[in-house]
Amino acid sequence: MARSPVLLLLLLLLPPPPPIMGFGLLGADSRRPDCGPCRPERCPAPARCPAPGIPARDECGCCARCLGAEGARCGGRAGARCGPELVCASRAAAAGVAPDGTGLCVCAQRGAVCGSDGRSYPSVCALRLRARHAPGRHPGHLHKVRDGPCEFAPVIVIPPRSVHNITGAQVYLSCEVRAVPPPVITWRKITRSPEGAQVLEDLPGDHVNIAVQVRGGPSDHEATAWILINPLRKEDEGVYQCTSANAVGEAQSQGKVTVGDLSTYRAPRFPAPHDRM
């Protein structure tokens, strides 16, 4: 049945029906529902950012916010957004169980680098951040020389300590060294020739009671060497030298082993129970 012109006119003048709940459309310029209106006067005072000069806004695009530096917490509304060349990494987040802000800003290019200033940086991102904010900078004043830490001569972090024990027992000396590239660590015993000249004897040599061991650690670019003497003999008494060397340089340190005779050793006397009465 055809509708009259008057009825069509009334339908056009009626207001549109409200949208069905859950199916309303948002305009192209609409904001996230949880953001609310932007009110800059309510934004917190801007802090001193670890990477100043890089503008950033919060997730709602309203308040100024610091970008996360390397090692900063990131992810979600509770964590920062990472700065240039950094990514937000989290093992838990990859599994889909991490709460907000549990990631860490890490450099997209992993690994330590050596800078043109002779310093080692944990990542190329750390080097570029230093170059960006160094006083008196100019283009190219600080750049990466090579991947990996800068080379440096051995430094003995913990030298061998002098020890004392009796014949038949055992003693050991240790030497902890830091260097890049990894050093070669050797032990020598310092003796005197009949003419009084100093003689260096490589160890373990032919000594069946002496063992030498070297392993990496405990920290990066460190190595620790031990020398174990068991059983200890009177002729083992003397000065033992730890020598560490790489392509850059060399370092040495010494420890002394003193040996007492078991026949002359007197154990400490403890009072008998009746002496304490």
Give the model confidence (pLDDT) of 78-104 as tens digits.
566 788 788 888 766 555 555 666 788
Where does residue 237 rank: exposed (0-12), middle (13-18), buried (19+ CB within 10 A)?
middle
Residue 229 sits in a domain whose CATH number is 2.60.40.10
- In this structure, what are the phi and psi dihedrals at residue 262, rounded to the nearest 5 degrees? -60, -35
Band of residue 30 on the pLDDT scale cut at 50, 70, 90: very low
Same structural domain for residues 201 and 132?
no
Same structural domain for residues 245 and 157?
yes
Q: Which domain holds residue 141?
A: 113-150
Q: Which of 123, 122, 124, 86 is nearest to 103 (CA)?
A: 86
| Contact residues for 216 (Cβ-Cβ < 8 A; gap 6+) | 182, 222, 223, 224
Same structural domain for residues 256 and 229?
yes
- Whether 241 maps to a domain, the answer reads yes
Q: How many residues would you count in the chain? A: 277
Sign of CA dihedral 99, 105, 109, 111: negative
Cα 50 from Cα 90, distance rounded (Å): 21
Q: Which among 28-37, 93-102, 153-162, 257-266 has the top mean pLDDT? A: 153-162
Q: Which of 133, 114, 209, 218 is nearest to 171 (CA)?
A: 209
Q: CA of 131: how far to CAs of 115, 118, 151, 184, 222, in Å?
A: 10, 13, 20, 34, 28
- Quote the pLDDT of residue 24: 28
Give the model confidence (pLDDT) of 120-160 as tens digits.
999 998 898 888 777 666 666 788 999 999 999 999 999 99
Number of domains in the chain: 3
Same structural domain for residues 135 and 193?
no
